[in-house]
Chain A
Amino acid sequence: MNMLKMDKVCAGYGDLKVLFDISLEINEGEVVALVGSNGAGKTTLLRTISGEVIPTSGSIKWLGMELTKLPENKRAVNGIAHIPQGRGILASLSIKDNLLLGTYTKRTKPRRAELLENALQMFPILKERLNFPAGSLSGGQQQMLAIARAMMMAPKLLILDEPSLGLAPVVVDDVYRILDVMKRQGSSMLVIEQNLTKALSISDRGYVLETGHMQMTGPSKELLNNKDIQKAYLGI
């Protein structure tokens, strides 16, 4: 069943058009990768889902509900968690406060204790430093915190914008290992990446975005073996 369905979405910033007739679907339990080079419009596409950018035309349906008409802050309560580019950590707040804010909505508040315990079990490093400001964590740890906080939201769909950005390769591996665990637990995800190999190796299906147009879509394995993509993005 479609959880999220974008239909012919156009969007941009003022006179600048960024997205042209974008259609995209995410099914329950599916991990979808959205790849493309710098400036292709990946982040803008995410922003139309998160409500920061209002599409000029087209529709975005979330579980049958029109997402473009929903106030920005209502996405969390409807089960969409969004880890923005640069992780979106609240640096001046303690790690614990960051995590607890994951259960701000009434959907997850009753399960706060249980969700917190789960998150800390998965990320023991956070447990040792609960009362430290989140800004004191290293980049990789901040990404873990961002994922942990998103898990606290018990999301139906987790959206990640470049989870590998600015991280050391070893740490990127760690992040993807965790995403893999979450995938096997049945989480639906939309992962945006420039790191094409990583993104396509974890996902079931992929979309390739190029200068605002959806260029190609298909099972991730096929995309990885596609000659054009290899040439354009991997330089093989």
Chain B
Amino acid sequence: MIQVIINGLLIGAVYSLIAVGLTMIHGVMKIVNFAQGELLMVGMYVTYVLYGAFVAEGSAPYFLIVPVCIIMFLFGALVFKVSVSHVVGKSETSYIILTIGMSYLLRYGFQMIFGSNYQSIPVSESLKFGSITIGGIVFTTTRLIAFFAALIFTIFVNYLLSSTDIGRAMRATSENKTVATSLGVNAKIVYIVAFGLGTVFAGVSGLLVTPLYMIYPSVGAVFSTIAMSAMVLGGLGNIKGAMIGGMIIGVVEALSSTYLTTNVSQIFINLVLILILIFKPYGLFGKGVRIA
């Protein structure tokens, strides 16, 4: 039982990371990015390509984290500039169509380039199946690394938002763009940074799960749903909420797929989501107001 919960928490941290990226974008520009899962898919393919080109077969992909971050930030900034920037602050719903459209574009665009076959990176068996045992509980190496990397990124974004000028500018823009502008904040730059970072988080999550999951163009759909549930469960626009929401979903998924079958985990995730929303309509940490 404890073993199962631990497994859930470890993978849950990755879900948290995707949800944190989603929350960041939503918090700053009031847009739910329905293509977040596809951005993760892009991160997986970027990892795949970089791994094939620069990494010796069998070794771990983790030091690719730096180039993946840079590439994903630039990709996010580009996506924002070309498309999303046109719907920020516009009508209430146009962003839904836009980001859903973008998710299809990315999914089938990547299918055209890489084909729809399942790919994977050839990490060594020792990494793939390696584990550490502490007090009778087995910690899978890949999941453990994913957990700590996700944790570090979440702590980083918390620090960024709470204690840096760009973080304060993001929160200010989120609450009142006119006032932020009058204080000298360039909202365009704030939006680009927020969307870029949201994309980085999706991309890094993609990198972290490449040793665990197969890579294929529609892999994003799975993560999109999970991240969306995590975000809503934790309370919209709340970083801490997204973090804990991801963990809860990881645990629910692990419990249901271990004690029942893998296929029903989605049902239980949504069931938990419904239950929490019945008792806490704004999510676990939501206050009914949006806070970046």
Contact = CB atoms under 8 A, between A and B. Distances in A.
Interface of A: 50-52, 71-77, 81-82, 84, 88, 90-93, 97, 100-102, 104-105, 109, 149, 153
Contacts of B184: 73-77, 104-105, 153
Contacts, number: 67
A100 B166 CA distance: 11
14 contacts: A50-B182, A73-B181, A76-B184, A88-B176, A88-B178, A88-B179, A90-B172, A90-B180, A91-B175, A93-B172, A93-B175, A97-B168, A104-B184, A149-B183
B176 A101 contact: no
Interface in B143-182: 165, 168-169, 171-172, 175-176, 178-182
A128 to B, nearest CB: 21
A74 B181 CA distance: 8
Nearest to A109: B165
Contacts of A92: 171, 175, 289, 291
Contacts of A81: 182
B262 interface: no
A97 B171 contact: yes
Contact of B168 (A73, A101, A153): A101
B284 interface: no
Contact of A84 (B168, B172, B178, B291): B178
A71 B185 CA distance: 11
Contacts of B181: 51, 72-73
Chain A interface helix/strand/loop/mixed? loop
Given A84-B179, A109-B165, 16 more contacts: A72-B182, A73-B186, A75-B184, A76-B182, A84-B178, A88-B179, A90-B171, A90-B179, A93-B171, A97-B171, A101-B168, A101-B169, A101-B180, A102-B183, A104-B165, A104-B183
A90 B184 CA distance: 14
A50 B185 CA distance: 13
Contacts of A82: 182
A121 B176 CA distance: 27
A104 B182 contact: no
A45 to B, nearest CB: 16
Interface in B176-207: 176, 178-187
A72 B165 CA distance: 19
Contacts of A104: 165, 168-169, 183-185
B178 A73 contact: no
B175, B179, B291 interface centre (most CB from chain A within 10 Å)? B179
B175 A76 contact: no
Contacts of B179: 84, 88, 90
Nearest to B171: A93
Contacts of B172: 90, 93, 97, 101
A105 B178 CA distance: 16
Contacts of B169: 101, 104
B54 to A, nearest CB: 39
B183 A76 contact: yes
A185 B211 CA distance: 65
Contacts of A102: 183
Contacts of B175: 90-93
A60 to B, nearest CB: 16
Contacts of A97: 168, 171-172
A124 B180 CA distance: 25
